[in-house]
Amino acid sequence: MPNIATVLREEVLRLARKEIRKQTSVLRKASAQYRRDIAAVKRQVSDLQRKVTPLQKQVLKTVVSQPAESDEEHVRFRAQGLRSQRKRLGLSAANYGRLVGVTGQTIYSWEQGTSRPRKPQVARIASLRHLGKRDAQSRLEQLAGKSRKKSR
């Protein structure tokens, strides 16, 4: 015959477990709903980032490659002018080349007069004429951000 204390103890434990289940079920359901909501928000953010990335690329291409429309036909190139513009902006040849879309070695050869830029490159150089140091640095940072995203 079971001891009455043992039976009573088992009954109290059973009732306590039942109460605990009731109390925690509400929290468990709320927690599951929060996880679903977080997952949905993450999916939305991911979708929006996928939509924004091509738009950013398009905007940067139009801003960087957009020459001054009125001066496009009458743009001239001088090696000394390129050198002084690069020095005024405080950029290395490599960084200036990234803004124009060429290598630093190409910038050096243009400055030395051993080669000349093509028309689209002259137009890009002309579009950089009105930049200040801060604008040039911000464009370089944008280009660096794009290249980091591509490498991932």
Residue 22 lies in a domain: no
120 has a pLDDT exceeding 60: yes
Taking the C-alpha atoms of residue 111 and residue 106, their distance in angstroms, rounded to an integer, is 9
Q: Is the pLDDT of residue 140 over 80?
A: yes
Residue 113 lies in a domain: yes
Domain count, the chain: 1
In a domain, 44, yes or no: no
For position 143, what pLDDT does the model report?
A: 83
Residue at 103 is within a domain: yes
- Among the listed ranges 10-14, 108-112, 123-127, which one has the minimum average pLDDT value? 123-127
**Domain interval for residue 93:** 66-151
Q: How far is residue 39's CA from residue 115's CA, in Å, rounded to a whole number?
A: 55
What is the per-residue pLDDT across 18-27, written as a single tens digit (0 to 9) for each? 999 998 998 9
Q: Is residue 132 part of a domain?
A: yes
In Å, how far are 57, 85, 128, 142 from 64, measured between CA atoms? 10, 16, 8, 11
pLDDT in tens, 27-84: 999 999 999 999 999 999 999 999 998 888 888 777 655 554 544 567 788 888 899 9
Whether residue 145 is contained in a domain is answered as yes
The predicted model gives 119-141 an average pLDDT of 88
On whether residue 2 sits in a domain, the answer given is no
| Domain of residue 139, CATH code | 1.10.260.40
Please name the residue that has the structure tokens 């050198």.
83
